Amino acid sequence: MHVRVEPYSPAWAAQFKAEAARVARALGDALLEVHHIGSTSVPGLAAKPVIDMMPVVRDLASADARRESLEALGYEWCGEFGIPGRRYLRRSSPSNPDLRLFQLHVFSQDSVDDIRRHLAVRDYLRTHADAARAYGALKGRLARRFPEDIDAYCDGKDDFVQHLQHDAVAWMAGRVQSLPVIALRDRPDLIECAAEWFSSIWGVATEDYRTSMRACVQGQAAIPQWYIVCDNGRIAAGAGVIDNDFHERRDLAPNVCAVYVQPEYRRLGVARRLLDAVCHDMARQGVPHLYLFTDHDGFYERLGWQFVDMVRDDDGELGRMYAHRMPDGCAE
């Protein structure tokens, strides 16, 4: 395979956007989001002109079920291709099979480390010009040295990339610790994007979230409330507090609901910080206890919540009910 490294082109971002829309249609409701990754996602960075994309799906079984839809777009399905838990696909020019155009790296939302690594490297290079320049210069030298040997080109980058990944992941983990938890009643300008984000995660109509969020801005009552964690305009996590989270125990209220942390932010303490902020805010408003209905087993115990009972949801399915009691003297 011929190795061709080119100066950065703004067209790469447009190519990603157009192809991501096609991939999203093919994956349907299996898809959570599609990220532009790799060197073509970093403005100013020289790269092989191949657009790397990372679709994050709910689970790999749902992605596997859409294999034919992706193949119909011209992609070659290559399975894990050396990375457990990945689905790798590639698409070349119909007129020139040696001209690679796009590569898909499909991961389940549970592949936290892989997702974090890809996004951390991208964001690190976007914000660390010296590292981006060094990486671009290295790729240029290797492409000139090994113009017809892609394996030697990749081997030549390996040591640099390993150190880059380590630095980028550590940088991201440190930065996440400072991300604020935002109460939407204080930021009504974020309601629209928050409603769309929660809807994309949980499949509930955007208008339902929008209505509840507007109520927390307009009303004087403590309930409902909505909270998000933002990272440079991207929602990293979120949760709400409502009267009842679609279950039969109307006496166990109010409920923390719709708790979700984006995969790359998991195992970094975001969920704990989010829920602690929610509990503290509710206590300040005079709410003495909160309940949380979930199918997770063990996760909320580690965050200090107490298991109460097994409860049926509105469809008759059993779930676990947890409680959090506010410390004495915390409520104002």
Q: What tokens appear for 58 in the block?
A: 């709910």
Which CATH class, in words, describes the domain spanning 181-325?
A: alpha beta
pLDDT digit string, tens, across residues 28-68: 999 999 999 999 999 999 999 999 999 999 999 999 999 99
Strand-pair partners of 239? 227
Q: What tokens appear for 201 in the block?
A: 């995660």
pLDDT digit string, tens, across residues 239-274: 999 999 999 999 999 999 999 999 999 999 999 999
What is the spatial order of strands in the sheet that 31-37 belongs to? 31-37, 51-57, 96-108, 86-93, 76-77
pLDDT digit string, tens, across residues 218-232: 877 899 999 999 998
Q: What is the mean predicted confidence (pLDDT) over 167-196?
A: 96
The band of 93, judged by pLDDT with boundaries at 50, 70 and 90, is: very high
pTM of the model as a whole = 0.91
Q: What is the mean predicted confidence (pLDDT) over 187-200?
A: 97
Which CATH class, in words, describes the domain spanning 11-176?
A: alpha beta
Question: Which part of the chain is CATH 3.30.460.10?
Answer: 11-176
Return mean pLDDT, the chain: 95
Cα distance between residue 156 and residue 86, in whole Å: 24
Cα distance between residue 137 and residue 85, in whole Å: 32
Q: What percent of the chain has pLDDT over 90?
A: 92
Question: Which part of the chain is CATH 3.40.630.30?
Answer: 181-325
If DSSP codes are grouped into helix, strand and coil, which group holds residue 228? strand
Classify the phi-psi angles of 259: left when phi > 0, otherwise alpha if psi is within -120 to 50, otherwise beta.
beta
- Give the pLDDT confidence score for residue 237 in this predicted structure: 98
Asked whether the bond before 224 is cis by omega within 30 degrees of 0, the reply is yes
For 140, residues 6+ apart whose C-beta sits below 8 A from its C-beta are 5, 46
Q: Residue 110 class from Cβ within 10 Å (0-12 exposed, 13-18 middle, 19+ buried)?
A: middle
8 Å CB contact between 75 and 103: no
